[in-house]
Amino acid sequence: MDPQNVIFLDGVTVELGGHAIFNDVSFSVEKGEFVAILGPNGAGKTTLFKLLLGLLKPTKGDIRVLGAIPHRGDSNIGYAPQHRVLETELALRARDVVGFGLDGNKWGIGFGTSKRDKMIEAVLKEVDAYQFANVPVGHLSGGEQQRLLIAQALITDPQILLLDEPLSNLDISHAQEIISLLTEIAKHRCVTIMLISHDINPLLPAAHRVLYLARGHSAMGTPDEVVTSATLSKLYGAKVEVVRSGGHVFVAGAEI
């Protein structure tokens, strides 16, 4: 395995309920890469994150994260799950949500209140959310709540950031703001980012490579290499047409 690879899968097969989610999937991700993960519902995008987080073991094959077998509670991995906009009645403050990133791995036990507060405030500033640190989270917009989830994932200073559909429920403007924020974080921290999305277009300026999952198989490469009629038709086992126009990518005949 190349020492530059922070994530490495070799011949990974995952079978759940007699159904193969992955079938002999292999790929690697280098330090500092920004990888967009695409594919239809049920293709295994969230399953992949469970494998990397040590929440699920492969039926066959080898997985290494930062050179080791994945295990639960690894503070080197920051994870922001898919979320829905929270109810306005929820009184939990923004800073409390971010603090859960420390509590999840029981980091908070070793920190006094002052040091803990400083860590929370620093990461809130990094994601441009400090101004609403004490606002009830249910009063925040979807984009503001997403910034909190990113801050929560960053607070343990991870080397890898896994983001499950952070652009869902966001309009184009706010989606672009989140992508710009993540691009700056990746550059500043040299953190590896893997981001699940149903739309490649907001990610085109940011993603170094695309991992496309479909029918148990995968294709990985630059957006121009992967999001093509030939590659997607092969993955889906059916004709898929990819059209590029005005700097955007349109896919017909397949669910992304």
Query: pLDDT at position 106, please?
Result: 47
Nearest one of 177, 167, 176 to 197, comparing CA atoms? 167
Q: What domain range includes position 222?
A: 5-252
Query: Under a CB-based contact definition with an 8 Å cutoff, are residues 60 and 12 in contact?
Result: yes
Query: pLDDT at position 107, please?
Result: 40
Cα 100 from chain centroid (whole Å): 18
Report the C-alpha gap between 87 and 82 in whole angstroms.
Answer: 16
Contacts of 43 (CB under 8 A, 6+ apart): 213, 214, 215
pLDDT < 50 regions, the chain: 106-110
Domain count, the chain: 1
Residue 234 burial (C-beta neighbours within 10 Å; 0-12, 13-18, 19+):
middle
Segment 93-130, tens digit of pLDDT: 999 989 988 876 544 444 558 888 999 999 999 999 99
Segment 40-69, tens digit of pLDDT: 998 999 999 999 999 999 999 999 999 999
Query: pLDDT at position 90, please?
Result: 65
Query: pLDDT at position 28, please?
Result: 97
The b/e string for 240-250 (b: 16+ C-beta within 10 A; e otherwise) is bebeeeeeebe
The b/e string for 69-98 (b: 16+ C-beta within 10 A; e otherwise) is ebeeebbebbbbeebebbeeeeeebbbbbb
pTM for the full predicted model: 0.91
Query: pLDDT at position 86, please?
Result: 59
What CATH number is associated with residue 113? 3.40.50.300
Contacts of 194 (CB under 8 A, 6+ apart): 7, 29, 35, 37, 49, 52, 160, 161, 162, 163, 211
Query: Under a CB-based contact definition with an 8 Å cutoff, are residues 13 and 24 in contact?
Result: yes
